Amino acid sequence: MAVNETERRAMSRALELATLGPRGVNPQVGAVILAPDGEIIAEGWHHGAGTPHAEVDALSKLAPGAARGATAVVTLEPCNHTGRTGPCALALIEAGVSRVVYALDDPGAVSGGGAERLRSAGVSVDAGEQADVAHRIIEGWLTAQRLGRPHVTVKWAQSLDGRAAASDGSSQWITGSAARADVHRRRADADAIAVGTGTVLTDDPSLTARDGDALFEDQPVPVVIGSRTTPEEAAIRRHPQAPLFYDTHDLHAVLADLHSRGIQSVFVEGGPTLASAFVAAGLVDRVLAYIAPVLLGGDRLALTDIGVSSIDAAHRLTIEEWLPLGADLLAIAAPAHSPEEGI
């Protein structure tokens, strides 16, 4: 049975609801319950660990029997396991729901399988509606489920000829205000923001996410990687979130520790050395390259040695989007192969 226009609109609403939930060890999920005539009769979302999942949150707002024959539209496949809460697939079956439309399959070995359980109970199931949008909302959680580490985005700003700074080291500002505002919005969407000690000592960044002069409500945890000491008067020490310092060059160990702290997305912004290290280690899930229409020349490259000695060894990317930002251009790219292989 094909997804109809009413169900598509309901999925758009469910995706909006998903973003109301907190980021954390559980995915952000939204749900909408449609009556047989297509009217929305209940909405829900996941409010955090230990609380009812989105489907159950929506069902809880209905009188007993009110969901019989209804359609549940959910952003993630209803779970099929008992944790702090019971399986959502079973809750939908017991409520009498006759159809389920969801966006993304649950990748969990334990929690997955809800769709098959629903079909076995005679429930009509359709998957994949607006999967790309749903993926963007919970990509950190999905990466953590697949790879056991946070989702890593590496960002840099460069001149048209690939330089991150002029010969004297100055780099403020290569890009314009629209590009810088875009960076801050993306910072606010990340759980953590990482720089190297070189960037801290050279630029003294605050690493906050700002909306003009004001701070966004959500602030990434600042992470400093490297063996040099961060001065006590450094701006990063005044960040709203307590900084994390890693006296190591072992990026796998850093990501493992961040993962253990519940951090599921990391925004790497800390200069060519750190960006290149993440690329060379195969630990990049997305690249954000802000390209300004200026020429700088010199040797201050946006990336340094990433372990490529011949064209055959090049790290191939797939462009997801070209986004104009004032006079600048943002290239959003991801590995051309599976994330498990690394960039």
How far does the chain reach from its first CA to its final CA, in angstroms? 38
Residue from 7, 43, 55, 269 carrying the catalytic annotation? 55
55 is catalytic: yes
Kindly write down the DSSP assignment for every residue of 267-331, as one continuous string: EEEEHHHHHHHHHHTT--SEEEEEEES----SS-BSS---S--SGGG---EEEEEEEEETTEEEE
Please give the structure tokens belonging to residue 222: 């600042």
- Torsion, Cα 15 97 141 318, to 10 degrees, reads -60
Q: Rounded to whole angstroms, how far apart are CA atoms 326 and 272?
A: 24
CA nearest to 15, candidates 103, 101, 93, 85: 103
Tell me how far apart the alpha carbons of residues 120 and 217 are, in angstroms, rounded to a whole number.
44
Cα angle vertex 309, ends 281, 335, to 5°? 45
Q: What are the catalytic residues? A: 55
